[in-house]
Amino acid sequence: MTADLLKAEIHCHLEGAARPELARAQAEKYGIDISGILGDRGYVWRDFSEFLVCYDAVASLFRTADDYALLTRTYLAELAAANTIYSEIIVSPDHGDRIGLGADAYLAGVSDGIEAARESSGIEARIIVTGERHFGPERVIAAAEYAARARHPLVTGFNMAGEERMGRVADYARAFDIAREAGLGLTIHAGEVCGAFSVWDALDLVRPSRIGHGVRSIEDRALLERLAELGTVLEVCPGSNIALKVFPDFDSHPLRALKAAGVRVCLNSDDPPFFRTSLAREYALASEAMDFTQDEINGMTRTALEAAFVDEDTRGRLLAKLGPEAGDERAEPA
Ligand code: ADE
Ligand code: ZN
């Protein structure tokens, strides 16, 4: 049973965490017809490109700082109820600009939601600003400049999500230089829709401590060796990978093989309701569909906390909650 295990995740897109009930309530609030993207069986999309369109349509239902506070605290309450002690939320202040709310108000709403959730459940959370690759390099650079300028205490990382097939990592490297210079942690979506070359590009040009997905690194043994040597953490999202048909089923999913190759990995939900999943389900699948032991699963939670973009005091407190590592003699009864 994984329900009782403490959990952590470092890869979940905020708008991608909106449950259909919340999306319906928002659509009603603003008088928007969402029958094209939300049916009786959930969000409607057939492939990665349609998923991105559906995602942007759901994002457009959140329009005020209060909408964002509600979305954030609703998601964090769901996580806390599943014994999650830490969450990193990927957000796009650019979206705040697109809907006329403004990036500052967008971020204020998200941080109000984080504070409210911390007060009611104790869950700790941080914000990762992302650039959306399919809006082009200028917008991704603008997102990095915003994240650097904001100097917001909860904004601790920078990411790039979106259409991985658009351009090459080199076109976006400047954005990561800006974020690195500002002291933000770096992670980038790579090796999800595109193959191992995209992860090599990310390592060479961005030098991130983590990679979003990175699962197609399995196609290149030299790359696995490089990831293991660098200690780069892959933010693996198995349910997302199966839903988006990156792999046909859990038997073919490379999580176990990546771990066996010495690559550091952890479990994440990505855009949970879009993929009919949740962080709790990802943990359950790791146990039931992928045969990981509780110690192995706790080890992945530990990896997420070790790789989290937080100050060392917070990391220490979170790791202490998780308890000693399996095999550590302090874990043995006296
Ligand atoms: N944005 C939201 N989810 C994503 C994913 N799985 N890949 C790339 N961009 C995303
Ligand atoms: Zn993602």
Whether 190 is in a domain gets the answer: yes
Which atom of ligand 1 has the smallest separation from the CA of 193?
Answer: 7
Whether 39 is in a domain gets the answer: no
Contact between residue 14 and residue 91 where contact means Cβ atoms under 8 Å apart: yes
The total domain count for the chain is 1
Whether 104 is in a domain gets the answer: yes
The pLDDT tens digits of the residues spanning 40-77 come to 999 999 999 999 999 999 999 999 999 999 999 999 99
Contact between residue 16 and residue 293 where contact means Cβ atoms under 8 Å apart: no
Ligand 2 centroid–CA 161 distance in Å is 6
CB of 11 closer than 6 A to ligand 1?
no
pLDDT of residue 326: 79
The pLDDT tens digits of the residues spanning 190-239 come to 999 999 999 999 999 999 999 999 999 999 999 999 999 999 999 999 99
Burial of 229 (C-beta count, 10 Å sphere; 0-12/13-18/19+): exposed
pLDDT of residue 329: 65
Which atom of ligand 1 has the smallest separation from the CA of 162?
Answer: 9
Percent of the chain with pLDDT over 70: 98
Q: What residue's CA is closest to ligand 1, atom 9?
A: 162
Whether 34 is in a domain gets the answer: no
Q: Where are the beta strands (DSSP E) in 199-325?
A: 210-213, 233-236, 264-267
Question: Catalytic pick from 192, 288, 296, 312?
Answer: 192
H-helix or E-strand spanning residue 301: helix 294-307
Backbone angles phi, psi at 203, to 5 degrees: -65, -45
Which atom of ligand 1 has the smallest separation from the CA of 237?
Answer: 6
Percent of the chain with pLDDT over 90: 95
Amino acid (one-letter) located at 325: E
CB of 240 closer than 6 A to ligand 1?
yes
Whether 2 is in a domain gets the answer: no
Query: Could you tell me the CATH number of the domain that includes residue 103?
Result: 3.20.20.140
Ligand nearest to the CA of 51: 1
Contact between residue 186 and residue 206 where contact means Cβ atoms under 8 Å apart: yes
Q: What is the rounded CA–CA span in Å between residue 37 and residue 45?
A: 7
In angstroms and rounded to an integer, the radius of gyration of the C-alpha atoms of the chain is 19
**pLDDT value at 86 more than 90:** yes
Residue range of the domain that includes 140: 7-17+72-322
Whether 231 is in a domain gets the answer: yes
Query: Taking phi first (over 0 means left), then psi (-120 to 50 degrees means alpha), and beta for anything else, what does residue 208 get?
Result: beta
CB of 194 closer than 6 A to ligand 1?
no
Helix (H, G, I), strand (E, B) or coil at 107: helix
Token pair of 272, please? 């949970």
The pLDDT tens digits of the residues spanning 241-300 come to 999 999 999 999 999 999 999 999 999 999 999 999 999 999 999 999 999 999 999 999
What length does the chain have? 334
Whether 41 is in a domain gets the answer: no
Q: What is the rounded CA–CA span in Å between residue 153 and residue 176?
A: 19
Helix (H, G, I), strand (E, B) or coil at 249: coil
> Is 225 part of the annotated catalytic residue set?
no
Ligand 2 centroid–CA 76 distance in Å is 17
Token pair of 225, please? 């060796």
DSSP 232: P
The chain-wide mean pLDDT, for the chain, equals 96
Ligand nearest to the CA of 211: 2
Ligand 1 centroid–CA 255 distance in Å is 18
pTM: 0.97
> If you average pLDDT over residues 316-322, what whole number do you get?
98
CB of 92 closer than 6 A to ligand 1?
no
The pLDDT tens digits of the residues spanning 156-170 come to 999 999 999 999 999
Ligand 2 centroid–CA 29 distance in Å is 28
pLDDT of residue 327: 75
Q: What is the rounded CA–CA span in Å between residue 273 and residue 117?
A: 20
**pLDDT value at 330 more than 90:** no
Whether 327 is in a domain gets the answer: no
Q: What is the rounded CA–CA span in Å between residue 180 and residue 309?
A: 13
Lowest mean pLDDT among 24-38, 90-104, 210-224, 244-258: 90-104
Token pair of 218, please? 């399995």
